[in-house]
Amino acid sequence: MGRYMLSWAVYRAAIPSLMRPVRFCTFLACILPVFTPLHADEGMWMPQQLPQIAGALKQAGFQADPALLADLTRPPLSAVVRAGGGTGAFVSDAGLLLTNHHVAYGVIQYNTRADANLIEHGFIAQNRADERPANPDFQVLVTTSFDEVTAHILQGTQSLTGRAYFDAVENASKQMVAQCERGSGMRCSVLPFNDGLQFYRLTQLPLRDVRLVYAPPRAIGNYGDEIDNFMWPRHSGDFTLLRAYVGRDGKPAPYSKDNVPYQPPAHLQVSIEGMREGDFAMLAGYPGATYRHRSAAEFRHQVEQVLPRRIALLEAMIQVLEQAGLRDADLRTHYAAQLQTLKNQRKRAAGELEGLQRSDAVRHRIEDERQMWDAWRKRFGATQVQAAQAAFDNAIARTLASSERGQLLAEITQRTQLLRAALLMARLQIEQDKPDTEREPGYQQRDQTHVEGFLRQLQRRYAPNAEKMLLSMLLTRYQALPDELRLPEYDAVFGRTREELDAALYRLYAHTRLGNEQVRLASLAAIVSRRPPVDDPLLVAATQLVKADLRIEAARKASQGELLRLRPVYMQALAYWRGQQGRALSPDANGTLRVSYGQVESLAPRDAVHYSPVSTVAGIVEKHTGQVPFDAPTPLLAAIARRQFGRTSDPTLGTQPVNFLTNLDTTGGNSGSPVLNARGQLVGLNFDSNWESVSASWWFDPRTKRAIHVDMRYMHWLLAKVYPAPGLLQEMKLPVE
């Protein structure tokens, strides 16, 4: 959310090695009996959980049988798919797919030419032949099966610990994925749920021929851009219509003009009715990662250490780049995007910290955990539980001990351009010695296009002075770490004093030739054909640094393995305690389909401030300045001035609604999630959340957590009256007037 999409890497890192040292109860026995959750709107429910909380769903206003929602491979949930980095939903029987403008942004950009700026002006396909192919890496994934495989994945792990656990689970998962994908044309994955208490295998149909059908102009699809990001009231038409195609045999196929529209297993009907405050709403999508079930120690560490450090680092990097840009227009241009990203991340991190503090999340989590262990001890006896608790607490403490170094290294290796390229090549060289399937994800043959693309494009984002100044600031902080956190390889390359650091940076950047694109590509070519790469001081340094990175990676896998072996105990205790409280427990998000339900709800974020839950076109006019990002297109302003809203008007407000607010539970990856009313009709398209709720990935505070949606009546009106597409309205069985 917050207009960022999910990277698959987010939960790739979470595949655990795991052993249950003590099996207290089966998962279902732990969490049952399930009563009404205290906050009916909190939770990202697995579809199969919905019948268990049927009472709460009904009470919230859902008018159909919750059993209908239990299977994500059957209608209506089978209409909801992964689309690019977000979520999408089929809205016709001919593969028409609705998602966010920002989820489909790459597709629109890919089709933009000097003479046809589809981003700026939008796009309406005149007919099917006019629909534009997406970039080849844009995929739509339709889930076809979802099976628990816990027993299989954990088979033989009983006697293992640490790294061995990790490898056993990883290997079992990899084998299962390979077996599932072999010859099937499907995309398979094995994912841990409830921090490794369970594993599920997900089988998805990968649709690779996706085409652009309808995109509004940038100044509608992204009205307000970064200024309005995380803000309410909002006035954005953040939607785009795509269409999925398959081969004539009905199977997934790359783009071909002979392909035919895909017939989805289900599609949603866009509603022509509106909602009012208090109306039931539900949302289905692919949220990426939440941390709600992290331990109290991890909550405290996040609030007291990780977030303040992250904000300080982001702030320092912003300062460095702004300082460097003061007298260098060229540098400003090269780093404009990165600076924007840094500021956006700072805004987000500050919001996360402020939100957790406002909710007093640490104190609440500490108290909740104390009560949890108490209840668990009463049930299973003090001795056994205390041993498990101590083992878990120790594993957590060891993992968190090096987090400061982890944050610094992540910035040093990921926020640079040339050093990052050198590290990538150095690691690639090491991975080349393994068979392709055993290489780390990101360094396999299938990643080669991506790697080459990065090495080509970095020129546009690189200036030697800026990189040296960034590194100087970050490595000075690294040098200040306590001895036990320092790495000999980093010390050898960058020295241990300020003077040595200055000299090293000067030497490396004065002599490296990796700033030249041809040199980088020649070096890559040499590495992948297992010839010696070019002789370059930065590459030599990177080869040394990568040794430290590998050592850290190995330690992390061992510690992760050990931790994740122990975490399921914690989850069992938590599930038991929630059951005692009469509350159901939804697993933390992991990029699989989840359902959230709640209501259309207003927001009172601060003393004396109250936001209505529905915004209207009046706000577009109010915000319009004529300057990006508040440059509403003339046809839109003219249509608003004409006030011919007709059936898409809100009867209570007497004008055209644009966006609305619900208390639904969302996070990154939920971009493009369909929002349904009590009768299962599509009333909204999720695209952002408010700034007060960016902390919800850790702590759901019902007072402030809101999700922001495009009102389908706004899309309907745009297609009917402003940038007409009557054919699409007919296809979606919507009135064309």
3-state secondary structure of 225: helix
Separation of alpha carbons 161 and 173, rounded Å: 17
Q: How far apart are CA 135 and CA 209, in angstroms?
A: 9
DSSP state of 600: B
Rounded CA separation 57/35 (Å): 11
Taking CB under 8 A as the rule, does residue 276 contact its own copies? no
- Name the one range near its own copies by CB under 8 A: 271-279, 306-314, 541-549, 615-623: 615-623
Between 354 and 393, whose beta carbon lies closer to its own copies? 354
Q: Which of 433, 610, 627, 642 binds its own copies (CB under 8 A)?
A: 610
Residue 531, number of CB atoms within 10 A of its CB? 9
Q: Which is nearer to its own copies, 93 or 354 (CB)?
A: 354
Minimum CB separation of residue 338 from its own copies in Å reads 23
Q: Please list the residues that pair with 710 across neighbouring strands.
A: 659, 685
Which residue, among 358, 342, 468, 367, has the nearest Cα to 416 in the 3D structure?
468
Per-residue string for binding with its own copies, 625-664, x by CB under 8 A? ----------------------------------------
Instruction: Tell me whether residue 129 or residue 608 sits nearer to its own copies (CB atom).
Output: 608
Backbone angles phi, psi at 443, to 5 degrees: -125, 15
Q: Which of 249, 607, 626, 642 binds its own copies (CB under 8 A)?
A: 607
* Preceding omega of 75 cis (within 30 degrees of 0): no
Choice between 613 and 674, CB closer to its own copies: 613
**Looking at 204, 389, 413, 615, which residue binds its own copies (CB under 8 A)?**
615
Site for its own copies contains 619 (CB under 8 A): yes
Q: Rank residues 520 and 623 by Cβ distance to its own copies and give the closer one.
A: 623
Identify the three-state secondary structure at position 370.
helix
Does 519 contact its own copies by CB under 8 A?
no
Taking CB under 8 A as the binding criterion, the range among 189-197, 302-310, 605-613, 641-649 that sits at the site for its own copies is 605-613
Element (H, E) at 358: helix 336-358
How far apart are CB 279 and its own copies at their closest, in Å?
Answer: 17
Comparing CB distances to its own copies, the nearer of 74 and 606 is: 606
Contact 431, 440 (CB under 8 A): yes
- Closest CB to its own copies among 249 and 607? 607
- What is the x/- site pattern for its own copies, positions 226-255, by CB under 8 A? ------xx-x--------------------
Cβ nearer to its own copies, comparing 570 with 699:
699
Q: Give least dist CB 415 to its own copies, A.
A: 26
Indicate the residue among 268 and 661 with the shorter CB distance to its own copies.
661
Q: Smallest distance, Å, CB 606 to its own copies? A: 6
Q: Whole-number minimum distance, CB 602 to its own copies, in Å?
A: 9
Site string for its own copies, 351-380 (x = CB under 8 A): -------x----------------------
Which one of the listed residues 671, 673, 693, 697 is annotated catalytic? 671
Nearest residue to 418 (alpha-carbon basis) of 343, 331, 517, 341: 517
Binders of its own copies: how many residues, by CB under 8 A?
Answer: 19
Burial string for 297-330 (b: 16+ CB within 10 Å, else e) reads: bbbbbbbeebbebbbebbebbbebbeebbeeeee
Distance in Å, CB of 65 to its own copies, minimum: 35
Decide if 102 is catalytic: yes
| Residue appearing with tokens 């010696």 | 532
CA distance 3 to 344: 11
Site string for its own copies, 173-212 (x = CB under 8 A): ----------------------------------------
Judge contact between 133 and 209, C-beta under 8 A: yes
- The number of beta carbons lying within 10 Å of the beta carbon of residue 182 is 10
Name the active-site residue from 102, 293, 301, 709: 102
Place of tokens 């500021």: 343
Residues 289-328 that bind its own copies (CB under 8 A): 326
The dihedral formed by the CA atoms of 265, 270, 274 and 277, expressed in degrees to the nearest 10: 30
* CA–CA gap between residue 437 and residue 732 (Å, rounded): 44
Residue whose C-alpha is closest to residue 722's, from 134, 220, 358, 160: 220
Choose which of 540, 618, 637, 736 interacts with its own copies (CB under 8 A): 618
Q: According to the binding rule CB under 8 A, does residue 612 interact with its own copies? A: yes
Cα separation, 41 vs 505, in Å, equals 53
Could you tell me the smallest distance in angstroms from the CB atom of residue 530 to its own copies?
53
Give all strands (DSSP E) within 139-194, no chain letters: 140-148, 187-193
**Six-digit token string for 649:** 């008007």
**Cβ proximity to its own copies, 232 vs 239, nearer residue:** 232
Shortest reach from residue 609's CB to its own copies, in Å: 6
**Contact (CB, 8 A) for 181 and 195:** no
Examine residue 614 and tell whether it contacts its own copies (CB under 8 A). Answer: yes
Question: Smallest distance, Å, CB 619 to its own copies?
Answer: 3
- Per CB under 8 A, contacts with its own copies among 323-352 are 326
SS3 sequence of 644-667:
CCHHHCECCCCECEEEEEECCCCC
Q: How far is the CB of 352 from its own copies (least distance, A)?
A: 16
Q: Which of 606, 605, 623, 712 is nearest to 663 (CA)?
A: 605
List 173, 616, 667, 686, residue binding its own copies (CB under 8 A): 616
Q: So which residues are the catalytic ones?
A: 102, 238, 671
Contact set with its own copies (CB under 8 A): 232-233, 235, 326, 358, 606-616, 618-619, 622
